[in-house]
């Protein structure tokens, strides 16, 4: 009876495994990284029909440019040969018009385009360009503003915080969250605690906002003259500090000048844009891959219950940067999986970490079995291990 029960559990596990493979396929079809929202175009032509046709072509090309800027570093994106209209059309999975206005000769429209993941990667890879198709966990930005020796965060006089709060749209690989400044926030980190925060309190804040880490950004204003009242600084220095090791670790300095301001931006708006770009570029550098770097890694998943395995399998389905997950074998306590992915093993580890999965390096097996002539060249290779952090 016990043996029959174990067999039934095993069959159920295999059935559920098949179901989750189907779920992974569905997930890959709606990869948000390859969806470009709110593409706005405004075209005037001979008549409304022609304006609408021209607008669609213009929107499609614009959407592809946005996608390339999202995936590739700024330096490499500039090196991509612009594709023609027919090529871009072949890369589009589908589209929708979310808003449109027509007159006799003018068309204003807003589109959403969903691109074919593999086709885009092949095109970009064919250009010899590395790219990232892995999103990071959200980052919590704490924008401190320095007045002499003091810093403020929650004070109404903080234009740096206001600039971040007015720019909440996230379109890149690194989603950014700005704190709301409620009672809990103020309790966790105070105005003058940019460099002296309590690590446990800040960790509570990170957990509450469900982010990967908090980044402190201290903006230091500078004026060329003596009159600092009623006008923006002539220069803004932004110092970035990581906090994931329980202390403020200096990471980067950004200098924002009036020449960096576009349109009706303030210098603080320009600094927000540059800070976002720095976060995006740093992340792309960590997770860059090229289309020719296809790799397969075999790993073992150990679990103590069916629930643990199902949650691990579900988490694997969410991992970006993995092309395919194959379950090669499964028992009531272990599963062997093959992960097909682009780039380095380090990139894979970072990708898995965004779904709260640890990839542990393999341990060298012990080949000393008492047989001097035992051939180990084709067997007993080191095995990676996957573990959902929830069960560590």
pLDDT tens for the chain, 392 residues long, are 444 444 444 434 444 444 444 344 434 434 688 999 999 999 999 999 999 999 999 999 999 999 998 888 877 877 788 889 999 999 999 999 999 999 999 999 999 999 998 888 888 878 888 888 888 999 999 999 998 788 999 988 899 999 999 876 667 899 999 999 999 999 999 999 999 999 999 999 999 999 999 999 999 999 886 656 667 888 999 999 999 999 999 999 999 999 999 888 899 999 999 999 999 999 998 898 876 667 899 999 999 999 999 999 999 988 888 888 999 999 999 999 999 988 888 999 999 999 999 999 876 544 443 333 434 344 445 689 999 998 88
Task: Please report how the helices 306-317 and 2-29 are oriented relative to each other, as an axis angle in degrees rounded to 10.
Answer: 10
Final residue of a structural domain among 69, 101, 126:
126
Assess whether 226 and 202 both reside in one domain.
yes
* 16 falls within a domain: no
> Which candidate, 39, 80, 215, places its Cα nearest to that of 136?
215
> How far apart (Å, rounded) are the C-alpha atoms in residues 319 and 299?
15
Backbone angles phi, psi at 296, to 5 degrees: -125, 130
Q: How far apart are CA 64 and CA 62, in angstroms?
A: 5
CB-based contact 220:179 (threshold 8 Å): no
Q: What is the pLDDT of residue 117?
A: 86
CB 216 within 8 A of CB 142: yes
pLDDT computed for residue 2 by the predictor: 47
- Token pair 């009672």 in the structure block, residue: 183
The span from the CA of 146 to the CA of 150, in Å, is 6
Same structural domain, 38 and 144:
no
> Half-sphere exposure of 141 toward its Cβ, with a 13 Å CA cutoff?
27
Please check whether residue 141 is in contact with residue 185, taking contact to mean a CB–CB distance below 8 angstroms. no
Q: How far apart are CA 350 and CA 56, in angstroms?
A: 37
Query: Which of 93, 126, 159 is where one domain is finished?
Result: 126
Q: What is the pLDDT of residue 292?
A: 65
Tokens of 254: 């950004």
Residues 280 and 335 in one domain: no
> Is 311 in the same domain as 239?
no
- Residue 9 placed within a domain: no
Identify whether residues 299 and 281 lie together within a single domain. no
Q: Are residues 250 and 145 in the same domain?
A: yes
Residue 12 lies in a domain: no
- Element containing residue 86 per DSSP (H, E): helix 85-91
Q: What angle do CA 244, 275, 268 make, to 5 degrees?
A: 125
Contact of 63 with 36, CB cutoff 8 Å? yes
State whether the Cα torsion 311-27-293-64 is positive or negative.
negative
Measure Cα distances from 150 to 131, 155, 191, 218, 325 in Å. Answer: 41, 12, 8, 11, 52
Q: Which domain holds residue 369?
A: 293-391
Rg of the chain over Cα atoms, rounded to whole angstroms, equals 26
299 exposure class (CB count in 10 Å sphere: 0-12, 13-18, 19+)? buried
- What are the Cα distances from residue 304, in Å, to 19, 158, 187, 328, 387? 20, 51, 40, 19, 12
- Answer with the one of 82, 98, 126 that is the final residue of a domain: 126
Q: Is the pTM of this model over 0.85?
A: no
pLDDT at 82: 82
Q: How much is the pLDDT for 381?
A: 54
Q: What is the pLDDT of residue 291?
A: 65
pLDDT at residue 30 in the model? 40
């Amino acid at each position: 009876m016990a043996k029959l029960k174990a067999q039934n559990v095993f069959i159920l596990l295999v059935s559920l495994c098949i179901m989750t493979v189907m779920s992974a396929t569905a997930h890959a079809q709606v990869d948000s990284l390859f969806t470009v929202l709110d593409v706005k175009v405004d075209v005037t032509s001979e008549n409304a029909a022609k304006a609408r046709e021209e607008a669609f072509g213009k929107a499609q090309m614009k959407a592809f440019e946005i996608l390339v800027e999202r995936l590739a570093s700024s330096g490499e994106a500039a090196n991509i040969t612009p594709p023609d209209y027919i090529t871009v059309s072949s890369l589009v999975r589908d589209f929708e018009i979310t808003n449109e206005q027509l007159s006799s000769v003018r068309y204003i429209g807003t589109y959403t385009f969903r691109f074919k993941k593999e086709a885009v990667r092949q095109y970009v890879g064919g250009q010899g360009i590395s790219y990232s198709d892995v999103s990071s966990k959200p980052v919590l930005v704490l924008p401190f503003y320095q007045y002499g020796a003091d810093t403020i965060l929650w004070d109404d006089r903080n234009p740096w915080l206001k600039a971040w709060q007015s720019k909440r749209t996230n379109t890149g690989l690194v989603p950014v969250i700005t704190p709301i400044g409620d009672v809990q926030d103020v309790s966790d980190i105070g105005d003058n605690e940019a460099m002296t925060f309590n690590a446990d309190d800040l960790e509570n804040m990170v957990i509450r906002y469900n982010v990967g880490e908090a980044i402190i950004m201290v903006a230091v204003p500078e004026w060329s003259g003596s009159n600092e009242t009623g006008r923006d600084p002539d220069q803004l220095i932004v110092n970035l500090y990581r906090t994931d090791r329980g202390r403020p670790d200096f990471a980067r300095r950004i200098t924002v000048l009036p020449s960096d301001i576009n349109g009706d931006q303030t210098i603080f708006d320009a600094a927000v844009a540059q800070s976002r770009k720095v976060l995006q570029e740093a992340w792309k550098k960590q997770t860059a891959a090229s289309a020719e770097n296809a790799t397969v890694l075999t790993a073992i998943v150990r679990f103590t219950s069916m629930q643990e395995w199902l949650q691990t399998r579900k988490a694997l389905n969410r991992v970006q940067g993995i092309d395919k997950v194959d379950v090669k074998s499964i028992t009531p306590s272990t599963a062997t999986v093959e992960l097909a992915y682009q780039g380095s093993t380090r990139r894979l580890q970072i990708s898995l970490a965004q779904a709260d999965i640890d990839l542990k390096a393999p341990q060298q097996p012990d080949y000393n079995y008492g047989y001097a002539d035992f051939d180990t060249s084709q067997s007993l290779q080191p095995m990676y291990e996957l573990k959902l952090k929830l069960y560590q």
